Structure 1
Amino acid sequence: MMLHSVQYLRAMAALAVVLFHFRSLFVSAGGPSSVAGFFDWGHGGVPIFFVVAGFIMVWVTRLSQNPTVFVVSRFVRIYAGYLPIALVFMLYKRCSYGLEHWIPEGLDLWGSITLTGTNPSKLLIYPAWSLPFELFFYVCFAICLSAGARNFLAAGFGLVCCVVAAGGLLPKALTSVVMNPVNINFLLGVGTGVIVLYFGGARSGWRRLCGSSAAAFLAIGIVYSGPASVWLDVLGFGVGTAALLYLLAALELEGQIPPVAWLSALGDASYGIYLLHVPLLYVLQTLEIDAFIAYRLGPYALATFFLVLLCCLSVAYYRVVELPINRIFKRIVGRRRVTSAG
């Protein structure tokens, strides 16, 4: 059972990243920079995503899922959701201004397709820099799953020690992923998930502590962190999100957070929101649709149009592309289990 509150948080994290990237277009369309400044913290949506991902993996698997099925299903979800968007975007760019257009440091085509590139200035869809970290986390999580639920934490601790010890011996390309502090956000999510899984909700005193801690740490992230301050991101958005997740999960387990259909739909579509907003921004600008709307109706109308269109496209993409692929994979896994059992 997926927690509704986790879905809400995923949706908000995705939209935070979108608004962060939309700021410059909003200002160039005539919007006040003071309003755009409210979303300077939107880069924090990425560490929020990482913490939520760690929590979801614990909650969904209950630390007992087959590790091979787990890691293959996650890789299928990541690549099957990404590649159709990337390939269509490549085709559009190839037929318009060229693949290198809008790429500050030159396109890393191999890294963009295989999801091995971590430099956003070289990627076709620059937010995809975070996906190699997710893939690395899934592999590590699957290794820990293979130890069983009882030994999961011990396996995790041992794996972290091995990674830290071997980090300096790895090639530079791998070290940039394996030893990056952003991975701490995943660990924070896993830790929160384990606490909720084994201990459930919290007493009112602990909830107040979690609420105040979440507010304090998230405030640090919003006020002091930036795209280049990784450790402040971990402290502010990472720790703050972990505290908030624990609070939300505790409240929802007691039935105090109601389901909201449209927020759940945006949570399901959060991966699409995260990826699609870059191609959509590119199309709007190259076709000069943004200039037309801004000139006729103003920057706020442009922002509304962009966000509504993005959300609708992302929900449709989830239902037409992502969801059917995931269902097909589950059927294949189910048939193999039946065959092996027979």
Structure 2
Amino acid sequence: MSTGASIESRTLVDVPAQVERVHGDVRIQSLQHLRVLAASVIVLYHAELQITRLTDGAHQHSLGFGAAGTDLFFAIGGFILVYTTHNRKDTFAAFLYRRFIRLAPLYWLFTLLMLAVLLVSPGHLLTTKGDFWHILSSLAFIPYPHPVLGLDRPFLFPGWVLNNFAFFYLLFGSLLFLSTGRRVAALSIVLCSLVILKMLFGATSHLLDFYGSTVALDFVQGMFVGWLFLARRESPWIIAAAFAAGASIFVAGVLENVSEGAERALFWGMADATLLFVCVSVEKRWGWPEWRFLSKLGDASYSVFVSHLFALALTASILRGLRLFPMLGVSGARIVFLGAAWTVGVIVYSAIERPLMRTFNRQ
């Protein structure tokens, strides 16, 4: 593949750093570090459920802000698609192919792994049961009501994030014929319209209820950050003001106990978009620390995202079996869960994801 094709082929939260460049051969290092942050808070957010189980329900979920990691992934996704397609010609089919080979193989692998666990040891999956259409829809990135929870969530639960990405890819790819600015404007109108339609008629369609979720606004904000990054060189005063505003919004969200509700885009989405804006603007003006270890972890962020529920469940079983939780306590357990998720994710990236991508890229 050519260098341009390689750059354009990687656009999700899992995009390796070496393909994101600031008009030349300089990496956008801050994106890698933001991915590490996003994946880490998502792991901690989901680890709360395991801690609640280890304490027999005594522990109450207290990291609602961890949901902000998902919004940060969405914002980064919007930014990257705008940046990597700017002033580049591409076909709709080629665009979708490159993105879906990044999205699908690892996700399908872990979906099938979860199906195997369900068939062999169903007692380990208390909130899951086999449903042919649910599993098929999950593999096809189509929202479908969960047979146990009733929500539009796929068989591998975190896949709802990928369902949103798949939809976003379809919309973005269909507008490749437009210039960058017009593409951002047109897609923003479409996504905002879906959010408004859901507010008015969401109960009439589960697809509108899913695609009209306010997380769509995270993509919009990420795209605008990408457009501003391409068009402007921000002053220090604007960067400082954005940081202060974003920090204030985030603190307000924590104080309001915001988690995954409809208001998440007003708190987490806006806070994450301003954080993204600040980081890429700082890097464009003054540069960014390389911190190779964090950059390598950023490469594995997608593997962590797809595999972390398995890592958390396995770690919880070990802590319970060895009776280590009373010694660790809640804070110690969080550290162990986070370390385990990243360890498994890095192994998955090195042993599975990276070889898969090398094979697809050669093809």
User: TM-score, normalized by length of structure 1?
Assistant: 0.83
Query: 1:185 offset after TM fit, Å?
Result: 0.7
**Structure 1 spans left out of the alignment, 5+ residues:** 333-342
1:66-81 to structure 2, matched below 5 A, reads 66=90, 67-81=92-106
Indicate if the aligned counterparts of 2:246 and 2:270 stay in contact, CA closer than 8 A.
Answer: yes
1:41 aligns to 2:65 (yes or no): yes
Indicate if the aligned counterparts of 2:194 and 2:211 stay in contact, CA closer than 8 A.
Answer: yes
More off after superposition, 139-148 vs 171-180: 171-180
Aligned equivalents of 1:30 and 1:162: distance in 2? 44
1:179 aligns to 2:212 (yes or no): yes
Which residue of structure 2 lines up, in the alignment, with residue 82 of structure 1? 107
Which residue of structure 2 lines up, in the alignment, with residue 56 of structure 1? 80
Aligned equivalents of 1:18 and 1:164: distance in 2? 28
Which residue of structure 2 lines up, in the alignment, with residue 336 of structure 1? none
Aligned equivalents of 1:172 and 1:157: distance in 2? 21
Which residue of structure 1 lines up, in the alignment, with residue 15 of structure 2? none
1:190 aligns to 2:215 (yes or no): no
Which residue of structure 1 lines up, in the alignment, with residue 254 of structure 2? 222
**Structure 2 spans left out of the alignment, 5+ residues:** 1-20, 22-26
Q: 1:135 to 1:295 in 2, by over 3 A?
A: closer
Q: 1:307 to 1:162 in 2, by over 3 A?
A: closer
Query: 1:183 offset after TM fit, Å?
Result: 0.5
Partner AA of 1:131 in structure 2: L
Indicate if the aligned counterparts of 1:125 and 1:279 stay in contact, CA closer than 8 A.
Answer: no
Indicate if the aligned counterparts of 2:110 and 2:156 stay in contact, CA closer than 8 A.
Answer: no
More off after superposition, 18-27 vs 160-169: 160-169
Query: 1:110 offset after TM fit, Å?
Result: 2.8
Query: 1:145 offset after TM fit, Å?
Result: 1.6
Q: 1:27 to 1:241 in 2, by over 3 A?
A: same
More off after superposition, 243-252 vs 23-32: 23-32
1:211-290 to structure 2, matched below 5 A, reads 211-230=243-262, 232-285=263-316, 287-290=317-320
SS at match of 1:126: coil
Aligned equivalents of 1:177 and 1:148: distance in 2? 28
CA-to-aligned-CA distance 1:57-112 (integer Å, 9 cap, x gap): 1122225251432222111111112111121222133212358x321687632333
Selected match of 2:351 from 303, 320, 327: 320
CA-to-aligned-CA distance 1:217-254 (integer Å, 9 cap, x gap): 12222222534521x21111111111111111111123
CA RMSD of aligned residues (A): 3.2
User: TM-score, normalized by length of structure 2?
Assistant: 0.78
Indicate if the aligned counterparts of 2:42 and 2:66 stay in contact, CA closer than 8 A.
Answer: yes
**Total equivalences in the alignment:** 327
Partner AA of 1:194 in structure 2: W
Which residue of structure 1 lines up, in the alignment, with residue 118 of structure 2? 93
SS at match of 1:240: helix
Q: 1:229 to 1:170 in 2, by over 3 A?
A: closer
Q: 1:155 to 1:41 in 2, by over 3 A?
A: closer
- Structure (1/2) with the larger helix percentage: 1
Partner AA of 1:9 in structure 2: L
Indicate if the aligned counterparts of 2:184 and 2:223 stay in contact, CA closer than 8 A.
Answer: no
